[in-house]
């Protein structure tokens, strides 16, 4: 028997969220969840802008992680999109 994968919570992106994700991808910006430790249901958000990577100072639960990832993507979209 295999190990049961961790559930990261619901993720229901709107079309606007998908467009922002594609814009970020095309402009070398990423915000992705990174699990703290296998079996622990907490994640940091790893943010990469033009090759410079940083980690969110706070960790998020499976109920909050996708909202936080989308929040970071929206932030960089609004900051750099003209």
What does 37-62 look like in DSSP terms, one character per residue? STT--EEEEEEEETTEEEE-SS-EET
Three-state secondary-structure class, residue 35: strand
How many of the other CB atoms lie within 10 Å of CB of 22?
A: 10
pLDDT value, residue 17 = 94
Q: Classify residue 25: in a domain, yes or no.
A: no
Q: Classify residue 75: in a domain, yes or no.
A: yes
Q: Which of 44, 74, 71, 39 is nearest to 56 (CA)?
A: 44
For residue 74, what are the domain limits?
33-80
Give the integer Cα–Cα distance in Å for 24 and 18: 10
The separation between CA 70 and the C-alpha centre of its own chain, rounded to angstroms, equals 6
Number of domains within the chain: 1
Q: Classify residue 20: in a domain, yes or no.
A: no
Q: Classify residue 4: in a domain, yes or no.
A: no
pLDDT value, residue 79 = 95
pLDDT in tens, the chain (82 residues): 555 555 777 788 899 999 999 999 999 999 999 999 888 889 999 999 999 999 999 999 988 999 999 999 999 999 999 7
Q: Classify residue 23: in a domain, yes or no.
A: no
Q: Classify residue 52: in a domain, yes or no.
A: yes
């Amino acid at each position: 028997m295999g190990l049961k994968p961790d559930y990261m919570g619901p993720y229901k992106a709107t079309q606007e969220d998908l467009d922002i994700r594609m814009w970020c991808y095309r402009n070398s910006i990423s915000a992705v969840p990174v699990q703290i430790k296998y079996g622990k249901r907490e994640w940091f958000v790893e943010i990469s802008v033009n090759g410079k990577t940083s980690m969110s100072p706070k960790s998020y639960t499976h109920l909050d992680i996708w909202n936080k990832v989308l929040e970071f993507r929206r932030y960089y979209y609004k900051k750099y999109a003209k």
